[in-house]
Amino acid sequence: MSLGAYVEGVGVLGPGLPDWREAARIFRDPGAYRPTASEVPAPSILPVAERRRTGRVVRLALAVALDAIRGAGIDPAQLPSVFASSGGDGANCHEICTALAEPPRELSPTRFTNSVHNLVAGYWSIAVGAMRPSQTLCAYDASFAAGLLEALVGVAIEREPVLLVGYDAPYPQPLHATRPIAAEFGVALVLAPRPTARSIARIDASIAAGEAQILDDAPLEALRRGAPAARSLPLLAALALGMPRVTTVEYLDSDGLRVQVSPCD
């Protein structure tokens, strides 16, 4: 069984990939990628009080969501959403563990609030006034693929656009030694049931036996392997190249998520 949708907007933020426009240029120019440090902007769309409470993971996710929304030219308040992360806010988790390991074991309300896995969905709803259904999921290294499937199911059932946001960031030590994530990376897609003048491509996804596609560019491949959300890179590259392609995104141990990309004219 295949699930399909039209890609209306894309957002990206990671080392050397400041936004979708620059990332698409790099994907079309082999060897142009330079993995410089990510600059994560402050979420100006949030009220000042909420903005002060956000960590880099929230800022990362909101940045890519807004990048995709701008490309799609759609009202974010009207979009159902799916958020996917392998571990949420690891830095906040580290601070909680540190606070609980030392006397007087006091935990701030903000730390506790920011510990829930649907944290980003909450800040997104505040930022854009979104009142539509939202889901937040985790599937370890396959979180992006699981999120993409969930978003495609939503498009198929509800016949309306859906926002997908995938994001991950490194844990501080000593958690990093147990769960190493190499870099911050965020990706967002606006998926729609019908094509519009802004449609980039149609994608059709199905679970199939096979390994994930390996990127030819060594630094990009290192990023793909190093950050769970960056497992989206082969799909992003296919969208940027603007040619019919089939790619496989990492999913289950024995099966990948096979994605047919058909560019729109």
Write out pLDDT tens, residues 152-185: 999 999 999 999 999 999 999 999 999 999 999 9
Residue with tokens 């974010």: 76
Neighbours of 125 (CB within 10 A): 17
Neighbours of 176 (CB within 10 A): 14
How far apart, in whole angstroms, are the C-alpha atoms of residue 120 and residue 110?
A: 14
CATH code, domain with 114: 3.40.47.10
Quick check: pTM over 0.85?
yes
Q: Pick from 50-54, 78-82, 111-115 the range whose average pLDDT is largest.
A: 78-82
How confident is the model over 50-72, as a mean pLDDT?
Answer: 94
Q: What was the pLDDT predicted at 52?
A: 86
Q: Which domain holds residue 224?
A: 3-263
Q: What was the pLDDT predicted at 105?
A: 85
DSSP β-ladder status, 134-137 and 245-250: unpaired
| Count of structural domains within the chain | 1
Token pair for 207: 């679970």
How confident is the model over 247-264, as a mean pLDDT?
Answer: 94
